Amino acid sequence: MDLQKLITKPKKGAKSIRAGEELTVVGQSVPRIDGWEKIKGAAKYTDDLEFGPGLLYAALVESPFAHARIKSIDISKAEKLHGVVKVVTGGNFTQKFGLYMNDRYVFATDTVRFVGEQVAAVVATDPKIALRGAGLVKVEYEELPAVMDAVKALEKDSPLVHPDLKSYTHVPWFFPKPGTNIAHWRKIRKGDLAKGFRDADLVMEDTYSVPRYAHCAIEPHSAIGLYDASGRLTMWTSSQSPFTQRHVFAETLKSFGLSHKDVRVISTYIGGGFGGKAGVTMEIIAAALALTVPGRPVKLLWSRAQEFYNTYQRLGCTAKIKMGVSKAGKITALDFKLHWDAGAYVEYGANVVNAAGLSASGPYKVDNLSIDSMCTYTNLPPCGAYRGFGYSEFLFGLESHITRMARELGLDPVEFRMKNAIKEGDTLPYGAHMNPTGIRDAIERVRKEIRWGVKEKSKDPKKAIGKAQVCFWKSPAMPPNASSSAFLKFNEDGSINILVSGMEIGQGLLTVMAQIASEVLSVPVSKIRVETPDTDRNPYEWQTVGSHVTWGCGNAVKRAALEARERILDLVQRVHCLDKSALYLEDQHVKCRTKPDFALRFSDFVINGIQAEDHTFKGGPIMGSGVFMPEFASAISDPETGQGGHPNVHYTTGSAGIILEVDRETGKMKIKKVALAVDCGKAINPDLVRGQIVGGLLQGFATVLYEDMRYNEKGRLLNPNFSDYKIPTVMDMPDQVVPIIIEVAQPDGPFGARGVGEHTMIPCAPLIANAVEDAVGVRIKSMPVTKEKVALAVKAAKK
């Protein structure tokens, strides 16, 4: 497919830094710079690294209860096992930690709060011995009443998951309610809700529910720690967040005398993240264990089962929505209550709740708005970031509800969306203003692509065809001061090494960073190397999450490249007495507009300088550094209304449509066609954007059609493996996927770019639910929308 053709020409074109010239590298689908390494099997992931014969292995002792008091731990038998080097319990580490709220311990100290929680660890010379040792640790528990449901957790007599909530420290934009299970309550109040409902011709109220989901990156988490004799801690982690991890390790373990400079985190390629490898989960255990066996590296490797039950999961959500609409099809009021099951620890998950609460209006102009997004502790595994960060969950309810209301009023659901879609400058739920957006273009392109309005018939009389189209938006959820930085250095032959700490998680970050530098410096991508981070050597990046690194890290790289360019031009001006304003870079040379025969090759001077007439050398190694922080952002607002701050930097918007075939008897669904248009501002590499669209859609559809985490009443996960928790195989591909790239430039993005990684999965649930209704007339209000559910609903409707 020729992707260049799919790109809608920018309305306000991103300016080339060489004014008047076309972009030559940015906007091209160059092959990934990490392509060969991965395709040849040469790419090293954390568990592929070698640590020699001294490597130790850790295995965990885990809680069998969802909620219990630890009465005693007897490690004596395990310690005696031949090959066991150390047995570690919670008593050794008493400092709480967390990303946004300090509510976790390295090991459970006196209370366990979910099935599978780490209570102790056995470190041994061999993984099998470590496991056997873990089996010999005897823990005596006193079981406590547990709560597994976010709504029940709000009842007066519900067991409290964190009775000490009052003493926990957290970011200033969280509002926990001590004495309850409410860890955070994000409120948005805008306009006059009562008046909005009075102005409505139709008010509809309903509840939509979304279960928990697992990321299922194919590479399980792994971490190796080495605390050496000089007192420094080096961690090799499979992580989206090396710098955030370094900070959490240093803060949590500071009683051992560590400071940030003593902690080094090295992250190699990771085999998929999707949010699951953001923040800190099992890595803190490896860091703590390393401190107990100085001088010896210790490895902690998650099994697939642990990957399911003891990393972050996607939050479960019950969404109560009440919406008012006028006959003309204007949303007059929206009252949205989101109850989130965030699990036993919410140090990361509470920010998902916050992000969803800020944006649950969807990409629509809603003047009278009330949102309550409530983060609730339960005795299920902790939840955290998952591609989409809460937006998939609220969009299921919102976009289902919008289609239903439009239909009820006899309005066209797509026209309805077009009418209400947000515009540049419109007021956002928290009072700031919307960035430039190509959402209308996206709606239009998708509408055409799925032949909206044309009813289609299946060749098979048992099957019906339904269509649906929905909209989406998402903003990076990050602290207001989350920043990115980059170093760029030239080599003797004019090639370049770029150091950043944005993570290559599959999305193609390294390639995109190379393209940005290439565009500025006229050095081909093939001569640029960008490596995965090492916190000792690479400059700071907050985390690779929220689809923000193309934008944030990309800005830092662009600034680093511009700085290097300045240094080159200054040097040439100084030595050759040419006016800087006449100089430009082209094809790895410095050239001059006023002196056409002047051409100085980079490789002739970027390390060793330029020889002046007196035979001395001027200059020296050319380098650049760049820093980016969104200085306009602020997270502080009125806790009762959410008004006042500027918590979100910008929104990426889009629309998606589907043609779905549904078997009336079996409920089996087949995606005949799906089209997704996303406004990425500027597609720096269209092929990689397409990769995000195609991959994100299938991950999204899997959450609707197959996946579902099942717990028993004791809080034990029943399907922690790929046989019972099915993720799609190649057989589950949609028949046709049409990626559509819209480019309305983001003014503060590198070459106009904004993020796109998560957006491609978030519209999937309402797409399916709406198309099912269009096809067979039944409305499913709980995810997943499995074929059984559809078949049963069709059967029930017939009666």
Partner 1 sequence: MKQHNIQFWLNGEKVSLQVEPSDVLLDVLRGKLGIKSPKAGCDRGDCGTCTVLMNGKTIRSCLALAVEADGAEIVTLEGANSRKWTQRLQKTFHEKNAFQCGFCAPGVILSATELLENNSRPTTHDIKEAIAGNLCRCTGYEPIVEAIEETVKGK
From 187, 146, 155, 180, select the one nearest 166 (Cα to Cα).
180
CA distances from 341 to 152, 179, 350 (A): 10, 17, 10
Residue 229 touches which member of ligand FES, partner 1, none, C-beta under 5-8 Å by kind: none
Concatenate the DSSP letters of all residues of 670-701 into one string: EEEEEEEEEE-SS-SSHHHHHHHHHHHHHHHH
Residue 218 CB, nearest distance to ligand FES (Å)? Answer: 4
Residue 45 touches which member of ligand FES, partner 1, none, C-beta under 5-8 Å by kind: partner 1
Comparison of 278 and 315: residue with beta carbon closer to ligand FES: 278
Q: What is the C-alpha radius of gyration for the chain, rounded to an integer number of angstroms?
A: 27
Residue 565 touches which member of ligand FES, partner 1, none, C-beta under 5-8 Å by kind: none
Q: Return residues touching ligand FES (CB under 6 A).
A: 218, 272, 506
- Burial classification of residue 769, based on how many CB atoms lie within 10 Å of its CB (0-12 exposed, 13-18 middle, 19 or more buried): buried
| Site track 282-321 with partner 1 (rule: CB under 8 A), x = hit | ---------------------xx-----------------
- Residue 549: both structure tokens together: 């690194």
Restricting to residues 60-89, which ones interact with partner 1 according to CB under 8 A?
none
Query: Exactly one of 253, 434, 656, 694 binds partner 1 (CB under 8 A); which one?
Result: 694
Laid out side by side, the sheet with 589-592 consists of 583-586, 589-592, 599-601
Which region, judged by CB under 8 A, interacts with partner 1, from 185-193, 228-236, 428-436, 695-703?
Answer: 695-703
Which region, judged by CB under 8 A, interacts with partner 1, from 35-43, 185-193, 408-416, 576-584?
Answer: 35-43
Comparison of 498 and 697: residue with beta carbon closer to partner 1: 697
The amino acid at 730: V
Which region, judged by CB under 8 A, interacts with partner 1, from 30-38, 179-187, 398-406, 532-540?
Answer: 30-38
- Residue 1: both structure tokens together: 């497919």
Comparison of 211 and 506: residue with beta carbon closer to ligand FES: 506
Residues in binding contact with partner 1, number by CB under 8 A: 55
- Residue 511: both structure tokens together: 């390639």
Cα(740)–Cα(689) distance, rounded to whole angstroms? Answer: 9
Cα(400)–Cα(207) distance, rounded to whole angstroms? Answer: 11
Residue 55 CB, nearest distance to ligand FES (Å)? Answer: 21
Which region, judged by CB under 8 A, interacts with partner 1, from 268-276, 442-450, 602-610, 705-713?
Answer: 268-276
Cα(212)–Cα(288) distance, rounded to whole angstroms? Answer: 29
Taking CB atoms, the residue at the shortest distance from ligand FES is 218
Q: Is the peptide bond before 739 cis (omega within 30 degrees of 0)?
A: no
Query: Exactly one of 62, 103, 117, 219 binds partner 1 (CB under 8 A); which one?
Result: 219
Comparison of 10 and 272: residue with beta carbon closer to ligand FES: 272
3-state SS record for 526-578: HHEEEECCECCCCCCECCCCCCCHHHHHHHHHHHHHHHHHHHHHHHHHHHHCC
Q: Are 94 and 338 a contacting pair, CB within 8 Å? A: no
Residue 378 CB, nearest distance to partner 1 (Å)? Answer: 26
Q: Does 216 bind partner 1 (CB under 8 A)?
A: yes
Residue 688 touches which member of partner 1, ligand FES, none, C-beta under 5-8 Å by kind: partner 1
From 196, 627, 179, select the one nearest 369 (Cα to Cα).
196
Question: Sign of the CA dihedral 153, 157, 159, 162?
Answer: positive
Q: Does 688 bind partner 1 (CB under 8 A)?
A: yes
Q: Are 382 and 376 a contacting pair, CB within 8 Å? A: no
| Site track 713-742 with partner 1 (rule: CB under 8 A), x = hit | --------xxx---xxxxx-x---x-----
Q: Are 372 and 336 a contacting pair, CB within 8 Å? A: yes
Comparison of 731 and 796: residue with beta carbon closer to partner 1: 731
The residue count of the chain comes to 799
Residue 273 CB, nearest distance to ligand FES (Å)? Answer: 10
H-state helical runs in 421-504: 439-449
Query: Exactly one of 11, 31, 110, 566 binds partner 1 (CB under 8 A); which one?
Result: 31
Residue 274 touches which member of ligand FES, partner 1, none, C-beta under 5-8 Å by kind: partner 1
Query: Exactly one of 6, 26, 27, 32 binds partner 1 (CB under 8 A); which one?
Result: 32
Cα(663)–Cα(654) distance, rounded to whole angstroms? Answer: 29
Query: Exactly one of 7, 16, 17, 38 binds partner 1 (CB under 8 A); which one?
Result: 38
The SS3 assignment for 506 reads coil
Comparison of 213 and 542: residue with beta carbon closer to ligand FES: 213
From 633, 653, 652, select the one nearest 644 (Cα to Cα).
633
Cα(417)–Cα(522) distance, rounded to whole angstroms? Answer: 43
Binding site for partner 1 (CB under 8 A): 29, 31-32, 34-41, 43-45, 47-48, 50, 215-220, 269-274, 303-304, 505-508, 687-688, 690-691, 694-699, 721-723, 727-731, 733, 737
